[in-house]
Amino acid sequence: MEENKKNGDKSSDFWFTLDNAAKIFPAVLSKEHTAVFRLTAVLKEPVKITAFLKALSHTEKRFPYFKVQLKEGFFWYYLEHVPQRFPVEVDDKKPCRAFDSNDMLIRIKIVHNRISVEFSHILTDGTGAYEFMKSLLILYSKELGVDIPEEFAYLQPGESIPEEEYEDSYKRYFKGEIPPMVSKSKAFHLPYSLQSKPRFIRKIMIISMPDIKNAAYQKGISINDFLVAVYLFVLQDIYEENYPSRRYRKFRKIRVQVPVNLRKMFPSRSMRNFSLFVMPEIDLRLGHYSFDEILKSVYHQIRLETDKKLINKNISRNVGSEKKIYVKSIPLFLKSLILRVNYYTKGTNQYSGVLTNLGKAKLPNETGRLIDYFIFSPPPPNRIVKENCGIIGFDDKLVVSFGNITKATALEEKFMRFLKNQGIDVKYESEKREEL
Amino acid sequence: MKPCANCGVEVEENANFCPLCGEPVVDKHTGNIDYITIRKRKKEEKALTDYQKLSSLQKRKLFWEISGIVLITGILVTLLIDLFASSRITWSRYSVTVCAVLFLNTTLIRFWPKNLMVLMLGSMTSTSALLILLDVFTGNMDWGVNLGVPLLVVAHILTLALTKIIKRAREKGLNIIAYSFIALGIFSLGIEGVVSLYVKNAINLHWSLVVIASVLPGAAILFFIHYRLKRGTDLRRFFHI
């Protein structure tokens, strides 16, 4: 990590610039649009708090790059190390609430049998958060007396921390000489009015993993592609309901933003943001799409868009724009203003929804035995997109968490109904906790 | 292991308080849960005084109402005493005018707390009117218009400029003192300029030049310490060099 090396001893005082994906967030943050996401492990038994706190104190030593605060520079924001413990609190407040300016960008929340970590997207992405959670859970299970097989790889305390984990990998894979950006047309957005503040509400759906696996494999596609297709199909349904006459249809495309973990394509051990997204779409000018047509289209679009050269082009474009001298030399308050306007007028206008899939969580059996399921809640959606969803699987449960800031729940209800019609066992997670 | 009735985690058998939520570890039955709920609510309420519980709008309203009562009472009482004592308005016009100007200024803060321009303009106009009126009351229309009002205008313009600069400063520290030094220097120039115009009918600057010559290097040193020395090596991170 360039800045770190310049700065000498990283264990006591280090700082780093925001990575390319994080740069937008400080400019668009608000009490509602917090850019805070949450990963929860629901255990089979109540959390044994003494063992947990011991495990956490070991874990935090392995992740020094998460002990940072957001600071304002003259031209950009940056992250500065703070020698403090990660904050641990009872999980009795709203999820994904904003961090204050003096807070670290991580918090750990516990209640009954739930362990949650909330991260600001300025700090890391879902993969970074998952690696942290994995180490925390493994160390917690070790505190409870289980032995973890040595061959199981995880970030464990005591080992040396590679410089690569601090790295902004976007910069490593940046290449000059790139064709200019072509912006996409405006996409359809949910027509529902916003909830009064605080707006963010989650709806959590638990899906049978064998059922959905079976349904996806019958169609010859992955679970991720299957769920993206369901999302597009449901959005099309909402669109047709709200604009029944084709004459009055003003939006032409429905797009879903699907983040892609770039570590799988470009070797990187970075624990900061290193993801981009693809945006499969359906063109409404071409008439109604059947589910199978959407499936086929999604399958091919995702493969086309995840072409390594194409992704590299997008990395280079994004990083290239921040490297331009005239962009660098704009003072921060002006830059934030421009970024904010661009975010709402160009960025979020291009897609109708977001589907983030963290994949299937892998833990050693000894730790896995303690866990019932995971929940991944993406950051509260902005007021244009209005709703998003996060997915994570574990064992025989796939959990979809919808984040919604509108008064309507049509998207999640239609999503559930569609899955049920496909013969998939799905139910809402009960928010009641009788045990408390 | 036993469960915490408040947050549901399991604590050590010998624990009296939960290490997570800090609540006493008690058996889980309705009475105890009620006890914990009340205890938590009391704790939260204890952290806030009645005044802290008010929103900033409510606080401003309260301040305005109290100051209104005090000032209007002051106006009425002094006016009545004066009337009873001398059967006409004599000395009370001073207190009435001062109270009226104060009330006007608190009203400005109540209704336009964030509009700096309105606040400054309102304060400048009302205080200028006060000075002129005091002049009128004493039967001497001299110093108020020629000395008091110009000095007031200079002071208000400088305060407005300084407040705007401080508000816009991204990093607040020694630079604020440096800005204030510069403003003080300019204010000295203004005072001497206005006073010499009043006394000699010409602008003759002497002592204020010494003041500005002293404060400018001081401000420069403060700027240097703030942006260069104080942050030291941090300058790299500040400018992303």
Average pLDDT over every residue of A381-398: 94
pLDDT band at A73 (very low <50, low <70, confident <90, very high): confident
Scanning A144-267, the segments in alpha helix (DSSP H) are 169-172, 209-218, 223-242
How are strands ordered across the β-sheet holding A36-43?
Answer: A88-90, A106-111, A114-120, A36-43, A371-377
Q: What percent of chain A has pLDDT over 90?
A: 59
Q: Which residues of A touch B3 (CB under 8 A)?
A: 46
Mean of all residue pLDDT scores within chain A: 88
- Could you tell me if B211 and B184 are in contact, meaning their C-beta atoms sit under 8 angstroms apart? yes
Average pLDDT over every residue of B39-53: 71
Please identify, in words, the CATH class of the domain defined by A201-362+378-428. alpha beta
Higher pLDDT, B196 or B88: B196
Is B57 in a helix, a strand, or coil? helix
pLDDT band at B175 (very low <50, low <70, confident <90, very high): confident
Distance CA B220, CA B212 (A): 12
One-letter identity of residue A219: K
Do B20 and A88 make contact, defined as CB atoms within 8 angstroms?
yes
Shortest CA gap A113–chain B (Å):
7
Q: Give the number of other CB atoms < 10 A from CB of residue A157.
A: 15
Average pLDDT over every residue of B43-61: 75
Note the pLDDT of residue B233: 40
A330 touches chain B (CB under 8 A): no
A334 touches chain B (CB under 8 A): no
Shortest CA gap B19–chain A (Å):
7
The per-residue DSSP string of A185-212 comes to PPBP---PPBPSSS--EEEEEEEEHHHH
Note the pLDDT of residue A2: 45
What single-letter DSSP state applies at residue A76?
S
Note the pLDDT of residue B47: 66
Report which of A363, A422, A436 is spatially closest to residue A395, judged by C-alpha positions: A363
A85 touches chain B (CB under 8 A): no
C-alpha dihedral sign at A105, A109, A373, A204: negative
- Output helix, strand, coil percentages for chain B, rounded to the nearest 5: 75, 0, 25
Closest in A48, A52, A328 to B1, CB measured: A48
Q: Which residues of B touch A10 (CB under 8 A)?
A: none
Shortest CA gap B235–chain A (Å):
9
Do B9 and A332 make contact, defined as CB atoms within 8 angstroms?
no
Please tell me whether the overall predicted TM-score, pTM, comes out greater than 0.90 for this model. Answer: no
Q: What is the dihedral of CA A374, A380, A386, A392, to 10 degrees?
A: -20
Note the pLDDT of residue A273: 93
Shortest CA gap B150–chain A (Å):
36
Closest in B6, B10, B240 to A76, CB measured: B240
pLDDT band at B48 (very low <50, low <70, confident <90, very high): low
Do A48 and B233 make contact, defined as CB atoms within 8 angstroms?
no
A78 touches chain B (CB under 8 A): yes
The fold for domain A15-149 equals Chloramphenicol Acetyltransferase (3.30.559)
Q: CA–CA distance from B169 to each of A93, A326, A330, A331, B218 (Å)?
A: 35, 22, 16, 12, 19
Distance CA B176, CA B173 (A): 6
Shortest CA gap A79–chain B (Å):
9
CATH 3.30.559.30 range(s) for chain A read: 201-362+378-428
Note the pLDDT of residue A435: 38
Mean of all residue pLDDT scores within chain B: 84
Length of chain B measured in residues: 241
Q: Is a pLDDT exceeding 80 seen at residue A279?
A: yes
Q: Is a pLDDT exceeding 50 seen at residue B60?
A: yes
ipTM for this model: 0.82
Higher pLDDT, B216 or B52: B216
Average pLDDT over every residue of A139-145: 94
Pairs of residues, one from chain A and one from chain B, whose beta carbons lie less than 8 Å apart:
70
Of A220-224, A243-247, B107-111, the poorest mean pLDDT is in: A243-247
Do A50 and B240 make contact, defined as CB atoms within 8 angstroms?
no
A91 to chain B: nearest residue by CA? B7
- The tens digit of pLDDT for each residue in B66-118 reads 999 999 999 999 989 988 888 888 888 888 889 999 999 999 888 888 888 88
Q: Which residues of A touch B171 (CB under 8 A)?
A: 72
Do B239 and A75 make contact, defined as CB atoms within 8 angstroms?
yes
Q: Is a pLDDT exceeding 70 seen at residue A11?
A: no
Shortest CA gap A321–chain B (Å):
16
Report which of B85, B80, B110, B120 is spatially closest to residue B96, judged by C-alpha positions: B80
Shortest CA gap A112–chain B (Å):
4
Q: Which residues of A touch B173 (CB under 8 A)?
A: none
CA B76 to chain centre: 28
What single-letter DSSP state applies at residue B229?
I
Note the pLDDT of residue A436: 37
pLDDT band at B26 (very low <50, low <70, confident <90, very high): confident
Backbone angles phi, psi at A152, to 5 degrees: -75, 120
Q: Which residues of A touch B240 (CB under 8 A)?
A: 17, 73, 75-76, 78, 328
Average pLDDT over every residue of B128-134: 87
Note the pLDDT of residue B229: 60
Shortest CA gap A89–chain B (Å):
7
Closest in A17, A46, A50 to B19, CB measured: A50
Average pLDDT over every residue of A67-88: 91
A53 touches chain B (CB under 8 A): yes
Shortest CA gap B234–chain A (Å):
9
Closest in A71, A73, A92 to B239, CB measured: A73
Q: Is a pLDDT exceeding 60 seen at residue A328?
A: yes
Do A112 and B1 make contact, defined as CB atoms within 8 angstroms?
no
Do B7 and A3 make contact, defined as CB atoms within 8 angstroms?
no
Q: Is a pLDDT exceeding 70 seen at residue A86?
A: yes
A87 touches chain B (CB under 8 A): no
- The tens digit of pLDDT for each residue in A90-115 reads 998 899 999 988 899 999 999 999 99
Q: Which residues of B touch A74 (CB under 8 A)?
A: 170, 238-239
Q: Which residues of B touch A15 (CB under 8 A)?
A: 237
pLDDT band at B29 (very low <50, low <70, confident <90, very high): low
Average pLDDT over every residue of B158-173: 83
Do B170 and A332 make contact, defined as CB atoms within 8 angstroms?
yes
Of A69-78, A314-323, B105-114, B150-159, the poorest mean pLDDT is in: A314-323
Q: What percent of chain B has pLDDT over 70?
A: 88
Note the pLDDT of residue B92: 86
- The tens digit of pLDDT for each residue in A246-276 reads 655 566 789 999 999 999 889 999 999 999 9
Higher pLDDT, A364 or A173: A364
Of A49-53, A135-139, B148-152, the poorest mean pLDDT is in: B148-152
Report which of A179, A187, A192, A226 is spatially closest to residue A207, judged by C-alpha positions: A226
B10 to chain A: nearest residue by CA? A48
Q: What percent of chain A has pLDDT over 70?
A: 92
What single-letter DSSP state applies at residue B132?
H
Do A110 and B7 make contact, defined as CB atoms within 8 angstroms?
yes
Of A133-142, A290-299, B79-88, the poorest mean pLDDT is in: B79-88
Do B9 and A88 make contact, defined as CB atoms within 8 angstroms?
no
Q: Is a pLDDT exceeding 60 seen at residue A151?
A: yes
Q: Which residues of A touch B238 (CB under 8 A)?
A: 73-74
Average pLDDT over every residue of B201-223: 89
Of A166-180, A288-302, A367-381, B126-140, the poorest mean pLDDT is in: A166-180
Q: Is a pLDDT exceeding 90 seen at residue A393?
A: yes
Shortest CA gap A331–chain B (Å):
10
Higher pLDDT, A357 or A320: A357
Note the pLDDT of residue A434: 37
Distance CA B93, CA A256 (A): 73
Average pLDDT over every residue of B139-162: 87
Report which of B188, B190, B209 is spatially closest to residue B147, judged by C-alpha positions: B190
